[in-house]
Amino acid sequence: MTTAGQRGFRPAGRCAGRRALALCAALLGGALTGCGGGGTAAPDPGATPAAHRSTPAEICAALVSYWAKEALKGSEWAGLDWEQKGLSNEQYAIHEEVVAAARAEQAKHGGAAAGALIDRRTAEKCAAANGATGSSENWREPDWTATGTPPP
């Protein structure tokens, strides 16, 4: 209850203040008990998604299809060269082949069909070439593959 000229809130009686204090103590005590080293529950394996390790073919397909779709819609970034796009020489060859096929498909059947063709063809070609990374002059195998230890 507040009175004229008084700032803030004042409990209606002594009892209300004691109840608030008891509630704070109970909450604080409960929180501190949960922090102890006592019985800890095992983590729920379904609550944390498993790490997804992408294969070279999946990475290739995602990268090449992205840039092929950008080229098809004529985006400002489609004019970057293969290195700026992060493509290997072999991935760039797949890109050029897929973009040519997609342009023909777009003229006949529209943009949705061209996008589907890009996804399908890049997945096929990247899988057949195992990621198409070996032909790039500046490509190196990641350090973790040489040791057999996956990255953190």
pLDDT tens-digit profile of 26-64?
555 554 444 445 555 555 555 555 566 688 999 999 999
Q: Number of structural domains, the chain?
A: 1
Residue 50 falls inside a structural domain: no
Residue 146 falls inside a structural domain: no
Q: Give, rounded to a whole angstrom, the gap between the first and last alpha carbons of the chain.
A: 58
Report the length, in residues, of the chain: 152
d(CA 115, CA 102): 7
Residue 78 falls inside a structural domain: yes
Q: Are 91 and 132 in contact (CB under 8 A)?
A: yes
Residue 9 falls inside a structural domain: no
Residue 144 falls inside a structural domain: no
Of the two residues 124 and 30, the one the predictor is more confident about is 124
Alpha helix (H) residue ranges in the chain: 14-34, 56-73, 89-109, 111-128, 143-147
Residue 69 falls inside a structural domain: yes
Residue 67 falls inside a structural domain: yes
**Domain interval for residue 96:** 56-135
The single-letter code of the amino acid at 30 is G
Which residue has tokens 């061209």? 114
The single-letter code of the amino acid at 111 is G
Per DSSP, the residues of 92-125 read HHHHHHHHHHHHHHHHHH-HHHHHHHHHHHHHHH
Average of per-residue pLDDT across 71-91: 85
Cα 86–95–130 angle (5° rounding)? 75
pLDDT band at 88 (very low <50, low <70, confident <90, very high): confident
pLDDT band at 7 (very low <50, low <70, confident <90, very high): low
Q: pLDDT tens digits, residue range 93-108?
A: 999 999 999 999 999 9
Give the burial class of 52: count Cβ atoms within 10 A of its Cβ; 0-12 exposed, 13-18 middle, 19 or more buried. Answer: exposed
Residue 39 falls inside a structural domain: no
